[in-house]
Amino acid sequence: METPRITVGMVLRHLLMLFILLIFLFPIFWMVLTSFKPAEEVLTRPPTFIFQPTLDNYRYAFEDADFSLFIRNTIVIAGLSTLLVVVFGSLASYSFARYNPGDGHIMFFILTTRMMPGIAVVMPFFLIFRDLGKTPFGQALGLGLDQVGSLVVAYTVFNLPFAIWLMFSFFQDIPTELEHSARLDGYSRLQVFLRVVLPLAAPGIAVTAIFSLMFAWNEFLFGYILTRDAARTITVGVSGFQTQQGILWGPLAAAAVVCILPMLAVAMFLQRYMVRGLTFGAVRG
Amino acid sequence: MLELRSVTKRFGSKTAVHRLNLECKPGEFVVIFGPAGAGKSTTLNLIAGITDPTEGEIWLNGQPLNRVPPEHRNMTMVFENYALYSHLTVFDNLAFPLRAQRMPSAEIARRVDEMAAILQIGPFLKRRPGFLSGGQRQRVALGRALIRDADVYLLDEPISHLDAKLRHQMRGELKALCQRKQATVIHVTHDYREAMSLSHRMVVIDKGHLMQFDTPDAIYHTPANEFVASFVGEPPMSFIDVKLTTRDGAPCLLITGTEAQPAIVSLGDAATAALAENANALRIGVRASDISLSTTASASHGTRAEVYVVETLGHRDIVTTQIGTHLVKVIAPSGLGLQVRDTVWLNIEPHTYHLFRDEQSISHPTDEMRIAQGV
């Protein structure tokens, strides 16, 4: 085996990469650092890097600011809306890819629902959920103001068009002969969808799920307007540390660290499925 | 018994299959043969239920198949582009149809191993299709179709993408395998050797129209029209335009373009009768292997021609000769030392040529004619 030669160019290149990496990672590093700082050291100048670490900020965030509820809410909302988006999005996207209903007009119409900013529709959403919450239907389904269900619906509505467009090309890439072949092998339409189409579309579904999760996890506006206490989400919760007495930097950093971790874990898990060319070798050419 | 009754398939304004009638007996190996775009694959898709006929009906064992979904037709198919499940290993690809039948896993493993041995893909069972060569993929596709028992096996160019040596070997394996299964097989190909060597009966189609449906022997020796004649055989049949004329009071054929130095071809009795009513657009076709050439004129070799090109095959030569404006290929023994523009004499006679009128055949050389001539 040939031993790789280390050249000056290689060393310089790696040093440059290290430097850029440090620039990008520093804010996150600073956030983690701040979350462990005692309150009096947070804003000292020059900043301290060596101090007695404390968990006070985390204690404050979870006990005084009820952050565990916000995290639970956000996990439920992001998880449920992503599940709905993937289920309905893949079904819709598959039929668009295979049957092209509406000759592309319906596809385009779906896209147009994303052509206005969220702030333009947040008031209608507010009014709809306010009134829906007073009906037996809304109460039965847990829809209404300051209800987790409302945000699930809102995020699903927002993410579906994007998901349909994203998954469309993944479904289109799957050769139809594979489905015909599976039918002849003795499987029904639905079985073919579940056993052949979905596994081959897994990369598209993983990408869609990540985007959908990230959107729901990071969304602020709807979470702010549609909730008060019971259905608060983490982004709104973090903004709550901006108090009349000033910004509580320590607890804010602690809460932010806790917010980042689950998404990091999910992204790393789903990354395994984000491989291109799963259909490689299926057909000739 | 598989029957196609006047099946038509149109895509928009384009007719892919036109009023096709076929009848395949149980255990029969039928080859559908035709050029690209003839409607071969469409016919298979219609039988499989992947597409529905615009008109007509398909019957299997006395039951109409219209509106029966593919999964209930008990047919298997090899797709021209393989259509392998790329997310599954070769083993799982082969096992896929068996699992649909809820077969016990020990039996599945036994059958997969057996099929893998026949197709020589045993070492690749754990790989995914993306890590196989084209030929290996094609064998996996073939194995997946042949692994389960079905009423009809539909094979769309199942061995065309293998290299020559393997193709030859797989052709034999395929024939043996299908004979053992006593299965009805519909095999699509554009390779006439494959068609001839595999089939009990051959369907020749062109542009969606049935040209001829007969045994390979009959297709070769009594082609129904010029298309079938030109499409079967290697080197392809040579065609010569002729006109009806008389010589010494007897009807005979004059090769067009040789009026200055008439090249006359005699006419058989059967053809003479047929031409009495209509003798327009006549053409004769000769196979390079049916005729011979001589360097001297004689009673048997009476048609003058000029050497145009000589291609050497080693044990014999393919000589392209020119008569008037027509090029005629002849297989000749090597070592004649023929040069371009040499004069040679061909035996274009009723026992060597096929006669066509308006592209439809009128007469063929029969065995009796050949025997009478001592060929």
In the prediction, which pLDDT does A184 show? 95
In the prediction, which pLDDT does B45 show? 95
Please determine, for residue A4, whether its predicted confidence score (pLDDT) is greater than 80. no
In the prediction, which pLDDT does B4 show? 95
Residue of chain A with shortest Cα separation from B95: A185
Same domain, B363 and B326: yes
Selected residue with higher pLDDT from A165 and A278: A165
Q: And the tokens for B199?
A: 């089939």
CB–CB of B86 and A280 under 8 A?
yes
Same domain, B299 and B204: no
The mean pLDDT value for A211-217 works out to: 92
Selected residue with higher pLDDT from B113 and B181: B113
Residue B82 contacts A, CB cutoff 8 Å: yes
Same domain, B218 and B243: no
Selected residue with higher pLDDT from B225 and A271: B225
CB–CB of B85 and A282 under 8 A?
yes
The mean pLDDT value for B119-145 works out to: 92
In the prediction, which pLDDT does B33 show? 93
In the prediction, which pLDDT does A229 show? 85
In the prediction, which pLDDT does A2 show? 62
Number of domains into which chain B is organized: 2
In the prediction, which pLDDT does B263 show? 87
Please determine, for residue A17, whether its predicted confidence score (pLDDT) is greater than 70. yes
Element (H, E) at A139: helix A136-141
Same domain, B274 and B127: no
Confidence of residue A277 (pLDDT cuts 50, 70, 90): low
For B246-300, write each residue's pLDDT tens digit: 888 888 999 998 888 888 888 888 788 888 878 888 999 999 999 999 999 998 8
Residue B134 contacts A, CB cutoff 8 Å: yes
Output DSSP code: residue A5: P
Cα distance between residue A179 and residue A89, in whole Å: 20
Note down the domain range covering B280: 238-372
Task: List all residues 6 or more positions away from A174 whose beta carbon is below 8 Å from its beta carbon.
Answer: A196, A197, A200, A201, A279, A282
- Comparing CB atoms, the residue among A183, A188, A281 nearest residue B84 is A281
Mean pLDDT of chain A: 89
- Average the pLDDT over each of A39-43, A187-191, B16-20, B42-46 and give the range with the smallest value: A39-43
Q: Is A116 exposed, middle or buried (0-12, 13-18, 19+ CB in 10 A)?
A: exposed
Same domain, B139 and B276: no
CA A111 remoteness from chain centre:
19
User: What string of H, E and C letters represents the secondary structure of A249-264?
Assistant: HHHHHHHHHHHHHHHH
For A48-107, write each residue's pLDDT tens digit: 888 888 899 999 888 888 888 999 999 999 999 999 999 999 999 999 999 888 888 999
In the prediction, which pLDDT does A219 show? 93
CB–CB of B87 and A200 under 8 A?
yes
In the prediction, which pLDDT does A3 show? 67
In the prediction, which pLDDT does B374 show? 66
In the prediction, which pLDDT does B328 show? 95
Same domain, B215 and B286: no
Cα distance between residue B212 and residue A19, in whole Å: 76
In the prediction, which pLDDT does B367 show? 75
Secondary structure (DSSP) of B28-63? -EEEEE--TTSSHHHHHHHHHTSS--SEEEEEETTE
Confidence of residue B375 (pLDDT cuts 50, 70, 90): low
Mean pLDDT of chain B: 91
Write the CATH number for B325: 2.40.50.140
Same domain, B269 and B346: yes
Of B175, B198, B231, which closes a domain? B231
Selected residue with higher pLDDT from B201 and B162: B201
Q: Are A181 and A121 in contact (CB under 8 A)?
A: no
Interface probe for A, chosen from B84, B144, B151, B153 (most Cβ of A below 10 Å), is B84
Same domain, B55 and B92: yes
Output DSSP code: residue A100: -
pTM over 0.80: yes
Same domain, B176 and B192: yes
Phi then psi for residue B363, to 5 deg, are -145, 150
Of B200, B231, B262, which closes a domain? B231
Nearest Cα neighbor of B149 from B188, B203, B89, B100 is B100
The mean pLDDT value for B102-118 works out to: 94
Q: CATH topology for A59-273?
A: MetI-like fold (1.10.3720)
How many CA atoms lie less than 13 Å away from A257 in the CB half-sphere?
Answer: 21
Same domain, B158 and B17: yes
CA A161 vs CA A151, A200, B16, B191, B285: distances in Å? 17, 21, 38, 49, 64
Cα distance between residue B315 and residue B299, in whole Å: 27
Please determine, for residue B112, whether its predicted confidence score (pLDDT) is greater than 70. yes
CB–CB of A183 and B80 under 8 A?
no
Write the CATH number for B219: 3.40.50.300
CA-based torsion, B17, B22, B26, B28: positive or negative: negative
